[in-house]
Chain A
Amino acid sequence: MANKTTNTAGTNKSAIDKLGGQKFIVLLVVIALFIFFCAMSPNFRKYTTIVNILDFSYYISLMAIGVAFPLMTGGVDLSIGTGLVCYSLVGGYLITHQGWPTAAAILVSILMGVLIGVLNGCLVAIMDLPAFLATLCTCMITRGLGSIIVGGFGISWPAAGTPGGWFRKIFKIQMNGTNIPIGFLWIILLVIVMTFVLNHTKVGRYTLAIGSNKEATKLSGVNVKFYHIFAYVICGFFAGLASISYAAIFATVQPGSGAGFELEAIGGAIIGGVSMTGGVGSITGTLAGVFVICLLKTGLPFIGLTANWQQIAIGFVLIAAVLVDILKRKSEGN
């Protein structure tokens, strides 16, 4: 019903709302999952496992922070997974086959992400295509493109310690033989920056406004098209960053892979309280949501379930998260 939202009169906020709503619950879930896996498996309690979880979390976190913006406009970006692999392949190809310096390759990777973001934004905001379909197409295009450019072979970015391998230290440094996952610091920093962008700048404000009521935002004189595109550009930029972290963590990047990564990122964002219908969301929640996914991914093998179970589990968790969102909106509506 059209006027359902307008009829809610109550102004009392619940205790959970004050603590940050869904974010808070998700954080509890993360902690509970962590404790559960620790209790179930002694191997899980090791330092290396935790470093491992963090390693896997970087590219998903970066994608999730990015994709939160299109989601908050009420759209989605399905091209981030294959896009990530594509940018990573091209960057690596430039280093290994063309002799480019690593810094330049990183720049190219990020730039490609931004360009695909612009393309997605134009398809959705200017040409009015349904977001999931437009980005599905760019998903196919980036998948093909990456493979064509590198000639169909796997690409390895320079290993740590070799010339040009410095970029791996962005995410992990070694001190006295132990790995320090400093990548996590960057993620925290980016979360803070993007939280600021979302809550205190025009870009964030209009992203939420578009997701809340695009027509009304337009009538208020906001350049809706620009800010709508911008949400996808942010997403593309973060997919570019994610491609670097992916290359830094994994030895080789395989063409044709990457489909399905976007699901983990989108799942993380939705679990973290980004509404499927747009207008609501938080970056800190998104990060917490990503860690639910990452813990499941790394934790399940420790309790004796093969990697394949992860996929099934993530599928169900995603549906559960959306159901919670739907039920929440239903109860608010009445």
Chain B
Amino acid sequence: MGEVILTMKDIDKSFPGVHALDHVDLEVRKGEVLALMGENGAGKSTLMKVLTGIYTKDSGTITYEGKEVEFHNTREAQDAGIVIVHQELNMLGHLTVAQNIFIGREFKKGIRIDDRKMNEEAKKLFDRMNIGIDPTETMSRLTVGKQQMCEIAKAISHDAKIIIFDEPSAALTETEIEELFKIIRDLKAKGLGIVYISHRMDEIKVITDRVTVMRDGTYVGTLITKDSTKDDIINMMVGRVIYEDPKTQNMVPKDAPVVLKVDHLNAGKLVQDVSFELHKGEILGFSGLMGAGRTETARALFGADPIDSGDIYIKGKKVTIKSPQDAVRCGIGYLSEDRKRYGIVVQKTVAENTTMASLENYMSGIFIDKKKEKEVADKYVESLATKTPSVDQLVVNLSGGNQQKVVIAKWLTRDCDILIFDEPTRGIDVGAKNEIYKLMNTLAEQGKAIIMISSEMTEILRMSDRIVVMCEGKKTGELDISEATQENIMNMATREIG
């Protein structure tokens, strides 16, 4: 094993209301792949952003190549040889592949940008990586996987000493992952230090040398990959308390009526021929990788995006859903994965957000009955145990979990029978997660039908009665919870199609 190239010691970082990193340590060596693991919100990405100068640390030291350093922006980090392949793609859709790779450090001939040389260099890079991408193609025309490869090519082209991969495989197909691993092994052999952030246990076992685990913003420990078992790592990640009770059997009575039936639904590229049924009182989990088309299915079903073809039946009756209004009228409520953008109006109060979908019920004549509005908001603050000083508080001041509760309240005031939870616990801290889970179970017991889209395997296995798995826009499997395992779900989620 190589010498230590980077040491992060006692790194501390707080945001208003959140202690994101609590004295975290990290060590990267030359010629090794270090896995950085932890649940969503454990602080992995924050730690890497501190390293690359996107965030400034509150305290602690970073030692790189024997010297103490502090980068003020990504450019400084890049110049020093630390680059990051981001989880969210940072691309310029209108520019070509080569232009994207060399943005900010173009080759020049006098004042002229030497596009030909850039194309050649990009081609060389791709050849070295053994992938066939045309450097002159416009970025937005590539598939997500190809775009990811371009990001990696960009990182490599920086002549980096450390490359950080932030969940690189989330959007990739099996073959693309194989390619990625080949590239990583290659880089490793050249003596680079690799930090590999991922959730996927199998990948970790295959590609990494050591595993550093984080939990709730703290450093838990580091293991040698080949000497440790999957259970060791999982134990360190989850800390034994939270996910002890996966569901083992379907809680829905056999004769529960079908509330929603989706028949051969098509909408764009990512919803192809999707059919499923949803029963009263059921939690139907939607599993799959990023970009598998789960959110797109939900949005099409909710009328947020146009449907190309297919039928939707609610309680046996065929319905036409062309807009969210139609969906809401049919009794469907949608809780988006991106609350800030699609769920709440942050500059409005808890009460105003609560009645957003059902304002017509809180009118007296042409005026809004603010007393009645407050009453109903109060009622749900109490029944959902939302933590807010009052219902007049602006939603922006609430924590993620409490914002989610406000969105739930919004749909409950509408008395929706079908609720679609898209990543219900994303960005929510661990304690509040449990509350959301409890709430969902209660809702199901009361006879609501719930569709839950989740990328967290533990969440899927803990909450669902049945599981639908999607891959590349198609439904690739349907399982009862009693027969579901992490392995067979993953298999279906990465199934290669045609």
Chain A residues packing against B (C-beta within 8 Å): 1-3, 5-11, 196, 200-202, 205, 208-209, 211-213, 215-217, 219-222, 279-280, 334
Chain B residues packing against A (C-beta within 8 Å): 54, 73-75, 78, 89-95, 99, 103-106, 108, 111-113, 115, 134, 137, 140-144, 147, 268-270, 291, 299, 305, 338
> Is there contact, CB below 8 Å, between B105 and A3?
no
For the complex formed, measure the closest distance between the CB of B114 and the CB atoms of chain A, giving whole angstroms.
9
> Is there contact, CB below 8 Å, between A200 and B103?
no
- Give 9 closest A-B pairs by Cβ, nearest first: A221-B75, A279-B94, A220-B104, A216-B90, A212-B92, A212-B94, A221-B104, A220-B103, A5-B140
18 extra interchain contacts, Cβ-Cβ under 8 A, other than A1-B299, A5-B93, A279-B94?
Answer: A6-B91, A6-B147, A7-B268, A7-B269, A9-B142, A11-B137, A11-B141, A196-B112, A205-B95, A205-B103, A208-B95, A212-B95, A215-B90, A217-B104, A219-B54, A219-B74, A219-B90, A279-B92
How many residue pairs at the A-B interface have CB separations less than 8 Å?
88
Q: Which residue in A2, A9, A216, A280 is a CB contact (below 8 Å) of B91?
A: A216
> Is there contact, CB below 8 Å, between A205 and B141?
no
> Please, how many angstroms separate the alpha-carbon atoms of A3 and B94 in the complex?
14
> Please, how many angstroms separate the alpha-carbon atoms of A8 and B143 in the complex?
6
> Residues of A contacting B134 with CB < 8 Å?
11
Interface of B is mostly: loop
**Closest residue of B by beta carbon distance from A334:** B268
Question: Contacts A201-B113, A212-B95, A216-B90: A222 and B103 contacting too (C-beta < 8 A)?
Answer: yes
Q: Which residue in B90, B104, B105 is a CB contact (below 8 Å) of A213?
A: B90
> Is there contact, CB below 8 Å, between A1 and B305?
yes
**Closest residue of A by beta carbon distance from B101:** A220
For the complex formed, measure the closest distance between the CB of A326 and the CB atoms of chain B, giving whole angstroms.
16
> Residues of B contacting A212 with CB < 8 Å?
92-95
> Residues of A contacting B141 with CB < 8 Å?
8-11
Question: Contacts A6-B89, A221-B105: A208 and B268 contacting too (C-beta < 8 A)?
Answer: no
**Closest residue of A by beta carbon distance from B115:** A200
> Is there contact, CB below 8 Å, between B113 and A216?
no
> Residues of A contacting B143 with CB < 8 Å?
7, 9
For the complex formed, measure the closest distance between the CB of A155 and the CB atoms of chain B, giving whole angstroms.
38
For the complex formed, measure the closest distance between the CB of A224 and the CB atoms of chain B, giving whole angstroms.
10
> Residues of B contacting A280 with CB < 8 Å?
94
> Please, how many angstroms separate the alpha-carbon atoms of A237 and B89 in the complex?
36
For the complex formed, measure the closest distance between the CB of A125 and the CB atoms of chain B, giving whole angstroms.
17
Which of B92, B95, B134, B141 neighbours the largest number of chain A CB atoms within 10 Å of its CB?
B92
> Is there contact, CB below 8 Å, between B147 and A221?
no
> Is there contact, CB below 8 Å, between B75 and A217?
no
22 contacts between A and B (CB under 8 A): A3-B291, A6-B91, A6-B147, A7-B291, A8-B140, A11-B134, A11-B141, A201-B111, A205-B106, A208-B94, A208-B95, A209-B92, A212-B95, A216-B91, A217-B103, A219-B74, A219-B90, A220-B75, A220-B104, A221-B74, A279-B93, A334-B268
